[in-house]
Amino acid sequence: MRKAADVAEEASNSQAFAAVARGGYVVSGILHVLIGVIALQLAFGSSGEADVSGAVTSLASQPYGPLLLWACFAACAALALWQLGNAILGHRNGSDKITKKLSAIGQAIVFAALATTIVSFIAGKGQNSRESSSDFTVALLKAPFGVFLLVAVGAGIAITGIVFAVRGFRRKFTKDLTLSSNSSVRKFQMGVGVVGYIAKGIALFLVGLLVVIASVRAQPEQSTGLDGGLKALREQPYGVYLLAAVAVGLIAYGLFLMVKARTLRT
């Protein structure tokens, strides 16, 4: 076990591995930009899926699509392993705070799930996110105490959204970045971070709210993930403008993730 831990630590400290892992943030950034663009199109009356499935489908349709997807999978898988290494072995900056470890575990899960989604598209088994969200809701509703579990899941997602928004308002994300000495670049870093985090928070809050509503009403078809949440927003008063604002924010969050890949403190 000690030898395995030493090998894992050596791999996680490798500059080449770290570079590939940082690419996972770039991939997530690109996907968020694509989701934002699709959401913006929805606001102006076009059709599409404003979620990870829709974004990955868009990537796959590009020239050299399969090669792009393999590169995205490799970067996301590397970032998941990198964050898992941070959680188990500690951060490279010497911080062993429990909050840092929990954050690393959370990011490892998120990027492992993203890598799994991408590889499912490579294998030709990609699933519509609305359907997969509804299927997940149905499965949990059938489980013992399923309604309570789903309400807890929905509340957890909604609370995560609130945390994202607060993090954006309070600019807490700057702790993870090396801010540029150039004032214009620093303003860009701060701008896309604030707008992006708030928009991401709103999107997550909507998803969590839909899960809670679907649980209470026992109507799993209402649990439709990010795409459903954004389309539900469009149907509200002034929804077109609200959706357009969130879409721009998601694009900003995607740009922030690309900045994070370059300026992340390690």
CA 146/CA 169 separation, integer angstroms: 35
Q: How confident is the model at residue 163 (pLDDT cuts 50, 70, 90)?
A: very high
Say whether pLDDT at 234 is over 80.
yes
Span 176-195, mean pLDDT?
86
The mean of the pLDDT values for the chain is 82
> What would the pLDDT profile of 70-88 be if each residue is shown by its tens digit?
999 999 999 998 888 877 7
| Closest C-alpha to 19, from 67, 77, 78, 80 | 78
Judged against a pLDDT cut of 50, whether residue 1 lies above it is answered with no
Q: How many domains does the chain have?
A: 1
Host domain of residue 8: 2-263
pLDDT grade, residue 4 (50/70/90)?
very low
Q: Is the pLDDT of residue 196 over 70?
A: yes
Residue with structure tokens 């996301």?
76
- What is the rounded distance in angstroms from the CA atom of residue 53 to the CA atom of residue 67? 17
Model pTM above 0.85: no
- Torsional sign, CA 69, 72, 76, 77: positive
Q: What are phi and psi of 197, to 5 degrees?
A: -65, -40
